[in-house]
Amino acid sequence: MVEQADSAYPKALARRLVTIPGLFLALAATIVLSPLLVLVAGAFDMLRADHGWPSVRMVGFLLAYLGYETLGVLRAGWIWISQPFSRRTWADRNHRLQLWWVRSLVRAGGPILGLRLEIEIVGPLRPGPLIVAGRHVSIIDALLPAAVLGLEADLRLRYVLTRGLRLDPCLDIVGYRLPNHFIDRQGSNSAAEVAALERLAGDLGDDDAVVIFPEGGLFTAERRRRTLDHLEREGSDRLETARGLRNLLLPRRAGIRALMRAAPTADLMVVGHVGFEPLGSVKALWRALPLTDPVRLRLERFDRRDLPRDEREWVRWLDLRWTAMDDWLTTMSGQSEPTSEGAS
């Protein structure tokens, strides 16, 4: 198991003394107020003559999320209390809890949000080890690798996640019990972050995969502009590639390179998806509900032996993969401009 230096008490305890009671209070308040919330939401939808009932659906998904989140925290507590009497290992029980949480949220998204997945898989899902590089346009799309590689292929996933997600109690608790790394995207000690990623991927086996979102944040027009400005100031030879991307940010190479350096036998899988753009913000989601088009997911596996070994050639290869994903996204979405102008 990978140790997390910043998970040690009292920092984690101080955080969880706020987030866990806050979760219970939020669920209790939402349940008590749910009749009023549904009534107000329904009236608002009727005034707008919106027969898709987006406001009512938002209330429904809020209840589902808070409910499953609370159950997840309670189950995490039971795992801690009962572990001395369990036949299963600590890691196995927490891994099963992680999959239950993912499965529950994905299933809730079907009838409430209209979420449907269409999955295209190029290459085998198993065995590991795998380094998985995915597109990132919303918090919820982080569930997609777990929904396919975890639920379908039964791989044990390790995640590179932003530290802001520690405000989610279930992610915070179980995320630190399993090998994951909560990265500080605003920090200045990049060498320490790279070393942590190398430790994360240093002991991958046939049942393991590491998931990273190499764009470094959710796609927005503003982040795209800042990326282009930064590359232009540096005189980077990747500038033209970045300018050509309409739906994606240029992938940051340090993190994914560190993972692959630490796992010399791991194959690389690139995950693209289209249809999650409305989930980039609450406002955009409300406007899009119910989701009428399926979320199309494409997973493509690349054999490690076919990847360039030279650093510059490898970066160029990665940029070509991102360009190919961008072209696929443009074709699938039927748009010629960046697809997430309003994402946040």
pLDDT tens by residue, 258-281? 999 999 999 999 999 888 776 667
Whether the predicted pLDDT of 338 surpasses 50? no
pLDDT at 164 over 60: yes
- pTM score: 0.85
Percent of the chain with pLDDT over 90: 51
Higher pLDDT, 139 or 55: 55
For residue 189, the model assigns a pLDDT of 64
Mean of the pLDDT values across residues 131-147? 83
Mean pLDDT (whole number) for 214-218: 84
Mean pLDDT score, 151-166: 88
Residue 82's pLDDT is what? Answer: 94
What's the pLDDT at 4?
46
Of 100-104, 134-138, 321-325, minimum mean pLDDT range? 134-138
Judged against a pLDDT cut of 80, whether residue 323 lies above it is answered with yes
**Identity of the highest mean pLDDT range in 47-56, 136-145, 203-212:** 203-212
Give the residues across from 161 on adjacent strands: 182
What is the pLDDT, as a whole number, of residue 335? 56
Q: What is the number of helices (H) and of strands (E) in the chain?
A: 11, 7
The per-residue pLDDT of the chain, averaged, comes to 87
Q: How confident is the model at residue 188 (pLDDT cuts 50, 70, 90)?
A: low
pLDDT at 32 over 80: yes
Report pLDDT for 2.
Answer: 42
Average pLDDT over residues 67-87: 94
- What percentage of residues in the chain have a pLDDT greater than 70? 92
**Does residue 5 carry a pLDDT above 80?**
no
Asked if the model's pLDDT at residue 68 lies above 90, the reply is yes
Residues 54-67 pLDDT 10s: 999 999 999 999 99
C-alpha atoms less than 13 angstroms from C-alpha of 36 in its C-beta half-sphere: 5
**Between 4 and 216, the higher pLDDT residue:** 216
- Cα–Cα distance between 150 and 301 in angstroms, integer? 16
**For residue 229, with 0-12 CB atoms within 10 Å meaning exposed, 13-18 middle and 19 or more buried, which class applies?**
exposed
Mean pLDDT of 63-89: 94
Q: How far apart are CA 115 and CA 232, in angstroms?
A: 39
Distance CA 210, CA 183 (A): 14
Cβ–Cβ under 8 Å, residues 68 and 23:
no
pLDDT at 343: 37
3-state secondary structure 177-205: HCCCEEECCCCCCHHHHHHHHHHHCCCCC
pLDDT at 193 over 80: yes
Looking at residue 137, what is its pLDDT?
81
